[in-house]
A and B are shown apart, each in its own frame.
Chain A
């Protein structure tokens, strides 16, 4: 089974609106971390936000928030007030405690922000 699943290959959102990018994960490790990265066309991977499996509250970083639903094993990224510069690929990733060095990446979601 895939560790990380991103079911939206592409998304469109109107500038200034909010958008949710879906991510579900699969692990039996009770301790894990979830990450979201942004990859613009230049190729660099930019860290956006982190959620630990034991964190009680959803993570937030500026316009980014993570909707963490542990029972559903989902970690959706919410981008509020979309900007044209948000157009990029977005990857969800997971790291498990028992394999601390290995990041499992999803297939990514291509977000296009329309003016």
Chain B
């Protein structure tokens, strides 16, 4: 199957700092990538849809200025958590859709665990 990577896998930062998370599709081009947030023992919540070369589409309730998304190439999307606070601590997962896949399923990255002190 298609492979999606995320970096870093784990990050701890101080309150008020910004953190950038990278999501890469390694063996396919992804015009669309997705960013999810998952709290402990809960389901995945879609935060935004990232489209290559255009602005991201954010879900209701997600602050655009807080979670900056850039999708500059067909293989890379970045999520920047600006001025992070402890309540932003969560597991962030990206996914990408491969148009060549059998079911147009989303392939997920391994996730990034963010802890804000």
Selected from B46, B49, B105, B109, the residue in CB contact (under 8 A) with A50 is B105
Q: Which residues of chain A have C-beta atoms less than 8 A from B43's C-beta?
A: 91, 105-108
**B interface, size bucket:** 20 to 34
Residues of B91-112 at the interface with A, using a CB-CB cut-off of 8 Å, are: 91, 93, 95, 97, 102-111
Flag the segment in A19-27, A38-46, A65-73 that touches B.
Answer: A38-46
**B64-75 toward A: CB 8 Å interface, digit per residue (1/0)?**
000000000000
Q: Is the CB of B105 within 8 A of A35?
A: yes
Q: Which residues of chain A have C-beta atoms less than 8 A from B44's C-beta?
A: 45, 91, 103, 105
Q: Is the CB of B110 within 8 A of A44?
A: yes
Secondary structure at the B interface, as helix, strand, loop or mixed, is strand
Q: State the CA gap A45–B102 with chains docked (Å).
A: 17
| Residue B42 at the chain A interface, CB threshold 8 Å | yes
Q: Which residues of chain A have C-beta atoms less than 8 A from B111's C-beta?
A: 43-44
Q: State the CA gap A32–B41 with chains docked (Å).
A: 27
Q: Is the CB of B103 within 8 A of A45?
A: no
Chain A interfacial positions (CB closer than 8 Å to B):
33, 35, 37, 42-47, 50, 52, 91, 100-103, 105-108
Name 12 interchain pairs, CB-CB below 8 A, sorted by A.
Answer: A33-B104, A35-B103, A37-B108, A45-B44, A45-B108, A52-B103, A101-B32, A101-B49, A103-B34, A105-B43, A105-B44, A108-B42
